[in-house]
Amino acid sequence: MKTPKTILTKIVHILIVIFTGNTQASFTETVAEGTTVSGEIVAPQEWEGLNRNHQRVFGTVTDTILRGDSQNYSPPNWAQQDVFSGGYTNNITVENTGNQSIFGGTAENTVIKDEGRATLKNQGIFKEGKVYKGGFFSAQSGTVDNINVYENGQFDISGNDDGVIVEGGEITYLAKGSIFQGRAKINNLKISGNVVVSDNGSKYSPDFSRANIKPGGLLRLSTGRMINSRVEEGSLSVFKAGSEASDTTMKGGSIEVGEGGILKRTQMTGGSLDIKEGGLAEATFVNGGGRMLNDSGTDIGTVVNRGTYTLGSAHSTTAQSDNLTLEKDATAYIRKGILNGATLNGGLMILVDDGLSSTLKGNVTVGELGQLDGYQ
């Protein structure tokens, strides 16, 4: 329902049209191939008796603001820019229900904030983009080159059959709503905020390569793979069947695996690694004072060079370790579960007697410098 103020505004506009004969467009609606437009504001407004809020880009647009009208609920209250194949934009600010859609074109240095949105489709390119508080970025198809998402910015990478490639950038502290799912390859991404990889029933799952989980960062894999990555005082969770992290270097922070998740070839020089029920860790190397706890899962071929290893806890269900190796400066506490084969080359293994039940199976080899003790 129109308010008296809205009606009065439209009457004034009509009078202006009558006395001037016309109103001029304040932004270019169609930017043709070979044409460059700069310094405009694309915003919902009326001229020549029509509502205008849409810019179509086949050429080049720079230094432009897409600004909707979030206070006006009469359509159209948003500002829309479509960047088609061959189109190019640079230094676009999207705010206040503005929306940039990249349909096969290229958008460089886009800033999204304050209820602004941008969407990447049709194998487009989104380069050096920034998402601030209140902004939202979504990629369904194309290449995302060095995206940075800041505090309370949101993003969604949900690759369709054509897939999404994310190359570089950072998800900073307190960036939220961070979801990767579908067909996507994510390379060299720094994570200081929350990245949740969920299974939405897609036939595809994402692949992470050379990720760096920094202090305050969390990567939770419930589907997909991560390879050749680092955990530096951040957190990695690998849960659900179909999720796997391999060749991970851990400088600190924490890793958890469970419910069908798999870890392979993890190198620890600090931090903690916990295996929950249903989790599997293969070929883990504990160095530099790291701490590994197999609470209720399975570890195979674990080597503790310097640090601590614990099998089982008071709350364990089924914990099992196969072929555990302790080197110098290593300590293992066997509390509850099954130890199936172990080699003590120079470490200390303590069979903890705290009312729990543990079983030693297979060969337990105690080297010249190794020590196997009971604990009262």
**pLDDT given for residue 9 in this prediction:** 40
Q: What is the pLDDT of residues 308-348, one digit of tens each?
A: 999 998 888 889 999 999 998 899 999 999 999 999 998 89
**pLDDT given for residue 22 in this prediction:** 38
For residue 20, the number of C-alpha atoms closer than 13 Å in the C-beta half-sphere is 11
**pLDDT given for residue 376 in this prediction:** 43
Distances (CA, A) of 314 to 107, 296, 336: 55, 10, 8
Q: What is the pLDDT of residues 169-191, one digit of tens each?
A: 999 988 876 677 778 899 999 99
- Structural domain spans, the chain: 246-376
Using DSSP's 3-state secondary structure scheme, residue 19 falls into: helix
**pLDDT given for residue 71 in this prediction:** 72
| Cβ-proximal residues to 227 (8 Å cutoff; 6+ apart), any chain | 207, 208, 209, 245, 246, 247
Write the single-letter amino acid at 236: L
* Rounded (to 5) percent helix, strand, coil in the chain: 5, 55, 40
Burial 35-64 (b: 16+ CB within 10 A, else e): eebeebebbbbbeeeeebbbbbbbbbbbeb
**pLDDT given for residue 86 in this prediction:** 97
d(CA 62, CA 68): 18
Using DSSP's 3-state secondary structure scheme, residue 370 falls into: coil
Positions of the chain with pLDDT under 50: 1-2, 5-24, 376
